[in-house]
Structure formats: C-alpha cells, structure tokens
Amino acid sequence: MEIFHISAECYPVAKVGGLADVVGALPKYQSNWGHELRVVMPCYQTKFRSENDLECVHWGTVKLGGFNFPFSVLKETTDKLGFELYLIEIPELFDRKEVYGYEDDIERFMSFQIAVLDWVIGRATMPDVINCHDHHTGLIPFMMQHCYKYHQLSNTPSMITIHNGLYQGQFSFDKLNYFPEFDLTHVRLLEWDSQINSLAVAVKCASAVTTVSPSYLDEINYSANGLESLFNLVRYKSRGILNGIDTQVWDPAQDKMLEKNYSIQNLEKGKQQNKEVLCTLFNLDPTKPLFSFIGRLLDEKGGDLLPQASALAMSENYKEINILILGSGSRQIENQLNSLLSDYKGNYNTFIGYNEELAHLIYAGADFLMMPSRVEPCGLNQMYSLRYGTIPIVRRTGGLKDTVVDFGDDGNGICHDQSSVGDICYSIQRAVSLYDNKEHLNKIRKIGMSTDHSWEKASQEYIEMYNLILNKI
C-alpha cells in the first residue's frame, strides 16, 4: 500500500511538540510491515534542511486567490528516516525559522496543501491512502473530493488524525477564493459556526477520523471546543488509536543525549548518575527526590497551576524535594515560575525555552514527571518517562488515563482526578513517601520500564483503518 502522511511537523526535521514525534515514528513502523511510506511537510528554515542532501523532484506555482507562489518539492535523497521524506518549499511563506505563529499562517498552510495536491496529481500513480494530521492539513480531504482539478483523487480515501482538537484553523469566508475552483453546492462542508473551520472540514470529508487515544475519542463527544455535535455525528467512522513511542529514539540503554546509559538491570545507579549531572547543571540537591515538568506552559497542560503548586510543595517540604521545570509558552506563567527562583534556591530551577537534549536528560534523571493536564489527547511524555524509569504523576484524562494506573492499584504511576493545586500537592506528598521506600519505588519503576509502548501494535491498527476505508476488510 502506498501511504502519504501530510503534516506540519515531523521529527527530526521540524518539531514543536508531540505531533512531530508521531509523524517521525509511525511511518517508520508502518514501512516495516512492507508498505511504501511518504511523509510530506513544509520546508522551513531548519538545521535539517541545511545539513541534508535534497533533490528537487517537482516544481510549480501555487495559485492562492490573486497571489502566485512558486514552489518546489524536495526529496531527502537517502531515505535514512525509514520513509521517503518530501519537503514542500514555498520560499516566500516557509523560509522562516518558526513552524507556526505568523500572521499569514492561513495563507501558508493553505498554499502548502494546494502545492501537495498539485504535485500528487502530476505523479504517475495515485496514493492508496492519504493520512492528514491536525487542522493544518484538514482542507485536503475536501479539495480531493470537490476541487475540479484534483478529480483523479476523488476516490482516494483520506483519514484525519486528530492530535489536538482545541486548535481548528478557522478563517473567514472572505478567503473562499483561495480554494481551487469547486462546485459551490458543496460550500456548506466548509462551514462551522459561520467560519471556514479546517478541522471540521476534515472531520466531515475524510473517510475516517482517528484520535490519538480511545479516551480522548470519548471526551471530544462532550468537550471539543465547539465541535462536540460534529464528533457525535461522525462516531461511526471514528476510532481512538493510542499513540506509541519510537523505542529507538527513546531508549535509555542507547540514548546519546544521556550522561550514562542504563537498562532495567542497573536502573538505580544509571538514573542516579544522570540525576547528579542534572542537579549540578541546575544547582539542585541530588540526594532529594526530583520532580519535573516538560512541555508547553499553557492552561491546557495545567501550566498555570505549576507556580502555585511548586511554591506550596516547596514550602510544605522545605529543602526535602527538588523541582525542575522545562518549557515555554505563556509569558505570564514563565514569569511566575521564574519569580520563585530566589525563594527556593538550591531546590528549584527552570529552563524557559525548548531543548531536546535537556528533555532526554530530564526523562532519565528525574524521579517523577508531573502532567497535570486539563486536556491530553494522548501525551507522550508519560510514556517516555515510564521507559526511562521515571514515575509519571498525571491527571486522569485522555491518553493519560489510558496509559497510567495509580500504584495504589498495582499500577505504574501516580494519578489524580482534578487539575488543581491541591491534587498536584497531594500527589507530590504521596510521591515523597514512595521515594522513601526504595524497594517499592524500584518495583514501580520496573513496571514502567518493562511495559511495551512501541508503535508495533498501533501502527498495525492504522493499517487496519486504511484497509477498512479501502473496503479491503
């Protein structure tokens, strides 16, 4: 089967968050099953772009309303990522450092989607399946079916995978002329709440909808930033498939970003050595339990609760715990977190920004990883921390509910029900007691380390879904 994944991010090419991890790993595992995998994404101004050999396989011009943007399709020549990688280069719109956050993001991603389809229809054969990811690629299923110039793709099945339904890519009908010509009787497919809503369009038009965990699929039926009723309507073609992790990239025994590699056999010593390096770097006390957070500092991740929860936990356990926060996002949360630095010197620190290497070192060196998310479609951090013997402390929601079970129920982590300062602090208290009982602590660490979260099984579930929409089942 020839499968195309269309995405705004893919690790190691360009990463903002978990979307990149999934699109960098899932196709690799799918190609192990004998399928032909292509990943298509925009060509940003990244280190990957400048350090790799790319060959131009196609060029053309995207017509977007009254604008014309020349584009080329660049193929990575070695296929070293385990799949064919194609970068859509539209210099005027994507030759920039950041992936998102520009005023013309609508024009950028609309042009990207048009360029992808312009190129695909010029190839000798059509793909068997097109798997779109999140709202940046959500207009593709509509354009394949209804834009005259893509008629060769009108019978090709498409699937939308929702990594985060909070972001929907809405824009005004003033930009309707950006679409290549289509039969206007279908215009209602574009509309949700009086706007063009890219995610809603994909959900309506794709042959199948997947979410990145089964629990998240249940949740979006009653909480999906305005799309609840739509998700109810399409339940018949939806499935929740729990993300896996790339066990080659995330392997404490081989991870080059660690100070000391380790496995389940020498986990205590291995973790301690990484912890010591981390504590030296951040002026923390390696003899005390280390609690961390890695991620975007936003309300959806419970980031707004971290300053108060950290302050309370630090004062309740004066000099008995360490907290280290790695992340960026809301300026207000960043400032609040930094304002605690002087009060808890020696036991508390932050790194405001994005740092892949540091994230790996934290997964290895921390004792507990906090994820007080209000919304978590799947969450990868808890699976990385389990693999590195770090105990996740999670709020029971979405994929966190599907992957972490409280140690009180013979599970692999610590769970709480509310995204609240009280629940976080209570969990920290339980973790401190657990830390004092090394035998119990190591038992739980080992449960986490021996669980298989690889993409092996989930990549098959995606193939099953493709077969379903190809009517092969």
Ligand X SMILES: Nc1ncnc2c1ncn2[C@@H]1O[C@H](COP(=O)(O)OP(=O)(O)O[C@H]2O[C@H](CO)[C@@H](O)[C@H](O)[C@H]2O)[C@@H](O)[C@H]1O
CA–CA gap between residue 325 and residue 330 (Å, rounded): 14
Q: What is the radius of gyration, based on Cα positions, of the chain?
A: 23
User: Does 17 engage in binding with ligand X (CB under 6 A)?
Assistant: yes
In the list 137, 243, 385, 397, the residue contacting ligand X (rule: CB under 6 A) is 243
The SS3 of residue 187 is helix
3-state secondary structure 7-33: CCCECCCECCCHHHHHHHHHHHHHHHC
Residue 353 CB, nearest distance to ligand X (Å)?
6
User: Does 326 engage in binding with ligand X (CB under 6 A)?
Assistant: yes
CA dihedral 430, 432, 437, 443 (to 10 degrees): 70
Residue 28 CB, nearest distance to ligand X (Å)?
15
Is 204 marked as a binding-site residue? Answer: no
In the list 30, 111, 145, 164, the residue contacting ligand X (rule: CB under 6 A) is 164
In the list 6, 10, 14, 19, the residue contacting ligand X (rule: CB under 6 A) is 19
Whether 61 and 55 have beta carbons less than 8 Å apart is answered as: no
In the list 156, 210, 215, 328, the residue contacting ligand X (rule: CB under 6 A) is 328
Buried residues in 429-439 as b, exposed as e (16+ CB within 10 A): ebbbebbeeee
User: Does 21 engage in binding with ligand X (CB under 6 A)?
Assistant: yes
Residue 13 CB, nearest distance to ligand X (Å)?
14
User: Does 22 engage in binding with ligand X (CB under 6 A)?
Assistant: yes
Q: x-or-dash pattern for ligand X, window 177-216, by CB under 6 A?
A: -----------------------------------x----
- Using CB under 6 A as the binding rule, the residues of this chain from 357 to 386 that contact ligand X are 359, 376-381
Determine the residue type at 21. Answer: D
Measured from the CB atom, the residue of 19 and 393 that comes closer to ligand X is 19
Residue 100 CB, nearest distance to ligand X (Å)?
12
Measured from the CB atom, the residue of 141 and 295 that comes closer to ligand X is 295
Binding part of the chain for ligand X, among 170-178, 341-349, 355-363, 437-445 by CB under 6 A, reads 355-363
Q: x-or-dash pattern for ligand X, window 134-163, by CB under 6 A?
A: -----------------------------x
Residue 103's contacts (CB-CB under 8 Å, 6 or more residues apart) are none
CA–CA gap between residue 161 and residue 218 (Å, rounded): 15
Measured from the CB atom, the residue of 344 and 384 that comes closer to ligand X is 384
Number of residues that bind ligand X (CB under 6 A): 26
Tell me how crowded residue 406 is: count the other CB atoms within 10 A of its CB.
17
Pair of tokens at residue 293: 């957070």
Measured from the CB atom, the residue of 330 and 429 that comes closer to ligand X is 330
CA–CA gap between residue 132 and residue 401 (Å, rounded): 25
Q: x-or-dash pattern for ligand X, window 283-302, by CB under 6 A?
A: -----------xxx------
Half-sphere exposure of 429 (CA within 13 A, CB side): 12
Kindly state the DSSP code that residue 425 receives in the 8-state scheme: H
Measured from the CB atom, the residue of 62 and 212 that comes closer to ligand X is 212
CA–CA gap between residue 322 and residue 285 (Å, rounded): 7
- Maximum C-alpha span of the chain: 68
| Binding-site entries for ADP-alpha-D-glucose | 15
Interacting residues with ligand X (CB under 6 A): 17-19, 21-22, 163-164, 212, 243, 294-296, 326-328, 354-356, 359, 376-381, 399
